[in-house]
Copies of this chain bind each other. A is one copy, B any other.
Amino acid sequence: MAKNYTKDLIRKEFINLLNKKTLNNVTVTELARNCSIERKTFYYHYENLTELVKEIFQEELLVVVDEFNETLSWEDSFVLAAKFILENKKAIKHLYQSDYKDDVEKYVFSIAGEIMNKYVDLLSEDTKAKEVDKRLIAYFYQCALSSALIQWVATDMKSDPAIMTERIGKLMDGNILLSLKRSENLENITDNFTQYIDLV
């Protein structure tokens, strides 16, 4: 319990620091000082900053998994899932511009996959859509959402992803259900390509 409290604190203060300065300028010494702990306490919990960064994304992904709300639209779910990114723009940008670029990309891809797969599964309950098509539809939206969000991170973050996602939601309202319905009448496919898709 005490251990978790310290780790939570370290993660929180690390993100706070990253919202103020680039990763190159963040040291374990300063991080420990901001947590009011000793450096060796940091190293008791984490081998290095890499382990810390990876744990942050793992923990934040768990938050998204836990908080999925069955009553929301996919676009509202995605904006909610992107909360950590939207609330820590600078920290995410600094991580994206560091050696952890791949970790940011994987995290974004994972949250988009989490949301879309769950949403499509829910929506398909009243349909006879084929499993392979469900995965493919979710994957298409996952790719679109994660790619757009990553580009927003990679560029100057001027637009508002929430407004943009809301508009896309309105423009595409009902399209996923229509796709699931179309699946019912499509022939089966022998080439089960979804086995090759890195779904989440």
Chain A residues close to B by CB (< 8 Å): 133, 136-137, 139-141, 143-148, 151, 155-156, 158-160, 163-164, 167-168, 170-175, 178-179, 182-183, 186, 189, 191, 193, 196-198
Cβ distance A131 to chain B, nearest Cβ, rounded Å: 13
Contacting pair B158 A196 (CB below 8 A): yes
The reply to whether B183 and A163 form a contact with Cβ atoms under 8 Å apart is no
User: DSSP majority for the A interface?
Assistant: helix
CB of A49, distance to nearest CB on chain B (Å):
24
Given the known inter-chain contacts A141-B144, A143-B151, please indicate yes or no for A189 contacting B167, CB distance below 8 A: yes
Q: Are A159 and B193 in contact (CB under 8 A)?
A: yes
Contact partner, A191, options B143, B147, B163, Cβ 8 Å: B163
Top-4 shortest CB links A-B? A144-B144, A143-B147, A159-B193, A147-B147
- Specify which of B143, B159, B171 is in contact with A182 (CB 8 Å cutoff): B171
Contact across chains for B163 and A193 when beta carbons are under 8 A apart: yes
> Beyond A155-B196, A171-B179: 13 further Cβ-contacts under 8 Å?
A139-B148, A140-B144, A141-B144, A143-B144, A146-B147, A151-B198, A156-B196, A158-B196, A159-B197, A160-B191, A167-B189, A174-B178, A178-B178
From A190, which residue of chain B is reached at the shortest CB distance?
B163
- In angstroms, Cα B55 to Cα A60, docked, is 42
Residues of B within 8 A of A174 (CB): 178
